[in-house]
């Protein structure tokens, strides 16, 4: 493990800082949080700026260390997040880069990097969320296409997506971790119906997706038929390994702001609160080091994060909830005001121990793959 940066990596950091300092003041104000068509346009325009400046491919072609530097510096500078491009840039794109054919990489990666096409994630189902291997959406081969029927839920950004990374069951007689296939499905294909879901915070970045005999070309299958579970593990390792790196930087900034607010309104006089914020500071410092450790491991093993991603996800999701509980204590009655960013973030944080694999799933992964404990029946 090597956590030191090379001269070339530090030069990349300095060049990126200069570009951000000159570019961010020229950006238009972000659109309202609930206006997803406008947010798609805003997020895509930012991605196009990154692409034109030579940073568009950082999530796919750069080393894990450069990717981490990029996430750290953009978050520190207050640059727009990936937003509507979240699934394409951080999940589907890296998976296609690692597992797709040359033709598939040529077809899909360019539009993702230029912000031209938005992807959503079609993994969870009403009876198969955390237990992903229980998915029942089926795909039957018919000539040169698969005919897909079923339902997905908590489909991120389905309301504005052009493509969906879709998991389907292609061999219902196989053991449940086999017989699964990873497909790329057009969201405007006949038979696709999207119904937005309103979250606790009032946002609608998730949706139910109903699939009624949707035809997906066999050429849009990533990986081999019935090998989708292995391909999915590549996707999820990216999600748990580096996709939250920028959020750790944001949480450290929020923690500083909370301490400043507490000093101003008198909450700082409470020694219990001071001790709580101090422990969170240590937690997020350690989580950042864990991100660096995971990136260092990924760089040494071919670019795909390992089980350290589950260690990170398990602790980060809990620490984030504790951070925003602390913001509520400092805000007092204002913590009920949904117009405040900290209030919305607190509500959103409740999903973190469920999204991207529940904490129970992460504990199972670590018990089996790190500690070598036997699998449950």
The domain 230-371: what is its CATH number? Answer: 1.20.140.10
> What CATH architecture does domain 7-114 belong to?
Orthogonal Bundle (1.10)
Residue 182, pLDDT score: 95
Question: Considering the entire predicted model, what is its pTM?
Answer: 0.81
Tokens representing 345 are: 């973030």
Residue 348, pLDDT score: 84
Residues belonging to the active site: 239
Please say whether the dihedral angle defined by the alpha carbons of residues 35, 201, 278 and 313, taken in this order, is positive or negative.
Answer: negative
Residue 303, pLDDT score: 57
In 3D, which of 344, 330, 357 has the Cα closest to residue 255?
330
Cα–Cα distance, 119 to 140 (Å, whole number) = 23
| Bridge partners for 119 per DSSP | 163
- Helix, strand, or coil (residue 241): helix
- Residue identified by tokens 């919305």 is 344
Would you say domain 119-225 falls under CATH 2.40.110.10? yes
Strand 163-169 relative to strand 180-186: parallel, antiparallel, unpaired? antiparallel
| Bridge partners for 166 per DSSP | 122, 183
Residue 52, pLDDT score: 95
In 3D, which of 121, 5, 122 has the Cα closest to residue 68?
5
Residue 177, pLDDT score: 79
Cα–Cα distance, 162 to 191 (Å, whole number) = 14
Cα–Cα distance, 220 to 115 (Å, whole number) = 20
Question: Any idea where the domains of the chain sit in the sequence?
Answer: 7-114, 119-225, 230-371
Residue 305, pLDDT score: 61
Low-confidence ranges of the chain (pLDDT < 70): 1-3, 129-130, 235-243, 299-305, 376-377
DSSP string, 49-111: HHHHTT-TTTTTTS-HHHHHHHHHHHHHHT----GGGHHIIIIIHHHHHHHS-HHHHHHHHHH
7-23 helix and 64-77 helix, angle to the nearest 10 degrees: 30
Cα–Cα distance, 113 to 48 (Å, whole number) = 8
- Helix, strand, or coil (residue 121): strand
Q: What residues contact 51, with CB distance under 8 A and at least 6 apart? A: 57, 113, 114, 115
Residue 356, pLDDT score: 73
Q: Which of 100-103's residues contact partners 24+ apart within 8 Å by CB, and which partners?
A: 100/222, 103/219
Residue 114, pLDDT score: 94
Cα–Cα distance, 315 to 142 (Å, whole number) = 45
């Amino acid at each position: 493990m090597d956590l030191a940066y090379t001269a070339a990596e530090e030069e990349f950091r300095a060049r990126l800082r200069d570009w951000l300092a000159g570019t961010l003041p020229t950006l238009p104000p972000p659109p309202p949080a609930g206006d997803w068509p406008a947010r798609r346009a805003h997020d895509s325009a930012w991605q196009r700026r990154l692409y034109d400046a030579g940073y568009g491919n950082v999530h796919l072609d750069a080393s894990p260390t450069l990717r981490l530097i990029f996430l750290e510096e953009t978050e520190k500078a207050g640059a727009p997040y990936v937003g509507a491009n979240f699934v394409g840039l951080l999940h589907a794109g890296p998976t296609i880069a690692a597992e797709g054919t040359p033709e598939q990489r040529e077809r899909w990666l360019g539009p993702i990097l230029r912000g031209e096409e938005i992807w959503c994630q079609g993994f969870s189902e009403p009876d198969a969320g955390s237990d992903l291997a229980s998915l029942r959406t089926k795909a039957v081969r018919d000539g040169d296409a698969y005919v897909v029927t079923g339902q997905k839920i908590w489909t991120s950004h389905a309301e504005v997506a052009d493509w969906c990374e879709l998991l389907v069951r292609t061999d219902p007689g196989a053991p449940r971790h086999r017989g699964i296939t990873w497909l790329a499905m057009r969201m405007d294909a006949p038979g696709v119906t999207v119904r937005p879901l309103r979250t606790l915070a009032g946002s609608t970045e998730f949706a139910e997706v109903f699939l009624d005999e949707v035809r997906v070309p066999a050429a849009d299958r990533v990986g081999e038929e019935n090998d989708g579970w292995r391909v999915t593990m590549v996707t999820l390792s990216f999600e748990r390994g580096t996709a939250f790196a920028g959020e750790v930087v944001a949480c450290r900034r929020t923690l500083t702001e909370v301490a400043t607010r507490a000093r101003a309104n008198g909450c700082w006089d409470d020694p219990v609160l001071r001790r709580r914020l101090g422990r969170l500071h240590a937690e997020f410092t350690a989580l950042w080091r864990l991100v660096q450790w995971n990136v260092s491991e990924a760089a040494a093993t071919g670019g795909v994060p390992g089980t350290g991603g589950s260690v990170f996800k398990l602790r980060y999701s809990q620490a984030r909830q504790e951070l925003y509980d602390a913001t509520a204590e400092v805000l007092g009655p204002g913590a009920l005001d949904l117009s405040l960013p900290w209030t919305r973030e607190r509500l959103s944080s409740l999903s973190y121990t469920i999204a991207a694999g529940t904490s129970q799933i992460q504990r199972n992964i670590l018990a089996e793959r790190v500690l070598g404990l036997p699998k449950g029946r």
